[in-house]
Chain A
Amino acid sequence: MDWQAIWLTLKLAATTTFVLLLIGTPLAWWLAHSRAWWKEIIGALVALPLVLPPTVLGFYLLLLLGPDGAVGSLMQRLGLDTLPFTFPGLVVGSVIYSLPFVVQPIRNAFVAIGERPLEVAATLRASPLDRFFGVALPLALPGFITGSVLGFAHTVGEFGVVLMIGGNIPGETKVLSVAIYDHVESLEWTQAHWLAGGMLVFSFVVVFSMYHLEKRLQRKGY
């Protein structure tokens, strides 16, 4: 069995989800509350990975992160290694690839809360930070759960981007989907079946649990 690939995939999905919650929360908050005219331009950029083929993303990442690209040349000038073919490189790719899956549900949750609870909290002299952590975050919990689950699961299923910038290095960039692809290509269809079937079951369990959890939270009045 490809335990190394499985472990690497889980590590990548967990790291990506964590980074996405850090970046995605303020971004979703801003998208939910800003009145800037260019807000929807950012909104559209965030949603782009939904419609772009992963190979397009992967190809541009390969160029952008490579030695000729803006990011790659900057990193080289700082004396750092370029990102393609490394685990951090995959995290960068996955964060962009899964961004809408995390930001969208959290944004919707923030919008659903509306201004009212926050205004009430403000009249009770809650500081802005208090209002965010004490009121908005708990109320938006279902959005955070949906976002995390979708972000995690979507990263587990990532293929095109990893294929383009990964380089198939065992223990570093050879994730599950690439391992499955390798097995299929090498006519090792039994191993491919094990991994692919496992992934199918995993995905079903994840999505099913999410729906189940959402329903229970709804009953609790979220």
Chain B
Amino acid sequence: MIALKKIWLSILLALIFTPYVAAEDVHIAVAANFTAAMKEISRVFERESGHKTRVSFGSTGKLYAQIVNNAPFELFLAAGQERPRLLYEQAVSEQKPITYAIGKLVLWSRDAQREVSLAALQAGDFKRLALGNPKTAPYGTAAAQVLKHLQLGQALRKKWVLGESIAQAYQFVATGNAELGFVALAQVSLNDSGARWLVPQSYYEPIRQNAILLKRGRNNPAASAFWSYLQSPAAQAIIQQFGYAIPQ
């Protein structure tokens, strides 16, 4: 019995102290749409720099609320421009935000046989259209702009189902619960499943995804290392590979 207790105790102690053994950790908050690209970027970054990343994914709005309330994040990769700007204005950061990626919007169906195009959208031959919540998710805002531009806002309003983030909008389409949905190109860029229509860039304002280095990370070498890595050609190549554009 006593031996067993000792084992438990050492496991417990190991669990408690392990996170503090690795000296240079950087804790990063990342918008949901960037999940796949971020995983690849941190993998390469960890291999090349020796630092470790701890990444929390979530919707931009939620992460923002957490950061304002002292969440332990050192960098914030948002899905839009507004929240990083607000953080900068509230002096939660000393560095101006940078644009690390420009998102592209696609209309997507998981059914490869379905016609997915401008004409299909106008024909309205579907029951539900998934999009991110235009109030909170930047890709949702862009989707609403596209529909307004095409003057389909009113006609399709009844078919909208809103995901709290673009990840959920994707989920609604991927499970077949919505026949069509506006998702991020990044979410469907790595496979050929379903049918898609890349929405022309002129239909919506560019989805500039901004990142900000928070005050909390100012004295952490791992945070500044990641900050410069994010803007390096190597990282930008990965970002493009996942279906984003890079600011000129």
Chain A residues proximal to chain B, CB less than 8 Å = 62-63, 65-68, 81-82, 84-85, 163-164, 167-169, 181-182, 184-187
Partner of B162, one of A81, A168, A187: A168
Chain B residues whose CB sits within 8 angstroms of the CB of A85 once the complex forms: 128, 161, 177-178
Binds A, one of B30-38, B58-66, B148-156, B191-199: B58-66
Is B176's CB under 8 angstroms from A68's CB?
A: yes
List of 6 A-B pairs having minimum Cβ-Cβ separation, nearest first:
A167-B161, A185-B61, A168-B162, A185-B136, A67-B176, A66-B177
Partner of A168, one of B65, B164, B171: B164
Chain B residues proximal to chain A, CB less than 8 Å = 59, 61-62, 64-65, 86, 127-128, 130, 133, 135-136, 160-164, 168, 171-172, 175-178
Is A168's CB under 8 angstroms from B161's CB?
A: yes
Chain A residues whose CB sits within 8 angstroms of the CB of B172 once the complex forms: 62, 84, 167
18 residue pairs bridging A and B, Cβ less than 8 Å apart = A62-B171, A62-B175, A66-B176, A66-B177, A67-B176, A68-B175, A81-B127, A163-B164, A167-B162, A167-B163, A168-B162, A182-B133, A185-B59, A185-B65, A185-B135, A186-B136, A187-B61, A187-B65
Q: A182-B135, A185-B135, A185-B136 are in contact. Are A67 and B177 (CB under 8 A)?
A: yes
Cα-based distance from A185 to B128 in the complex (angstroms): 24
Q: Which residue of B lies closest to A165 (CB)?
A: B177
Q: A168-B162, A181-B164 are in contact. Are A84 and B136 (CB under 8 A)?
A: no
Chain A residues whose CB sits within 8 angstroms of the CB of B59 once the complex forms: 185
Cα-based distance from A81 to B159 in the complex (angstroms): 13
Cα-based distance from A68 to B173 in the complex (angstroms): 12
Q: A62-B171, A67-B177, A85-B177 are in contact. Are A186 and B135 (CB under 8 A)?
A: yes
Chain A residues whose CB sits within 8 angstroms of the CB of B86 once the complex forms: 187
Q: A81-B127, A85-B128 are in contact. Are A169 and B176 (CB under 8 A)?
A: no
Cα-based distance from A23 to B59 in the complex (angstroms): 38
Most-contacted residue by chain A among B64, B130, B133, B176 (CB, 10 A): B176
